[in-house]
Amino acid sequence: MQIKAPGLAATLADLALDIVQMRQSSTTVDSLPCGLSVRTGPMTKIYGIRNCDTMKRAFAWLEQHQVEYAFHDYKKAGVTAAMLETWASRIGWEKLLNTRGTTWRRLSEDDRANVDAHKALRLMQQQPSLIKRPVLAHGKELLIGFDAGAYEKVFG
């Protein structure tokens, strides 16, 4: 599509840039410089493994409540050490480490013994199935596991 009004093209380009910047900064505005009203909020990102039953419950809740989200499958895409360190600093590595699953039980006794923050983060990065699911990031909120009540508090 070609726009023959240069002023309109510039306005549309400015509008697109404004929207992108709002999404990146998680701000909410009522009107843009071009006069259009837009409402946006923080991006919701959910991390986990698609086939996990708990993840499926979280996906269903988000979809039922019409919450837009981006999904990061950390079994396929991996998880960075920086991401794990950030999560652990916010909620504690103990809440992140899934010690109830089969992946934990399959670890050697040496791997399961004397776990500290460094060892836990290394194990979770090597084997993302050791990370509790889901991890949901929404603005300043970080939720571990699925709890409908907690999701309700965050999304209203």
Active-site residue (options: 44, 47, 48, 52): 52
- Say whether 38 sits in a helix, a strand or coil: coil
* 52 flagged as catalytic: yes
pLDDT value of residue 75: 86
- Asked whether 74 and 48 are in contact (CB, 8 A), the reply is yes
Chain centre to alpha carbon of residue 103? 22
Per CATH, which fold does 44-155 belong to? Glutaredoxin (3.40.30)
First CA to last CA distance, the chain: 40
- Say whether 135 sits in a helix, a strand or coil: strand
C-alpha span between 78 and 126 (Å, rounded) = 9
C-alpha span between 61 and 148 (Å, rounded) = 7
Phi, psi angles (nearest 5°) of residue 144? -115, 130
Domain boundaries, the chain: 1-41, 44-155
- Asked whether 96 and 144 are in contact (CB, 8 A), the reply is yes
- Quote the pTM value: 0.73
The tens-digit pLDDT sequence of the chain (156 residues) is 444 555 555 555 555 555 545 554 444 444 555 555 454 567 899 999 999 999 999 999 999 999 999 999 998 999 999 999 999 999 999 999 999 999 999 999 999 999 999 999 999 999 999 999 999 999 999 999 999 999 999 998
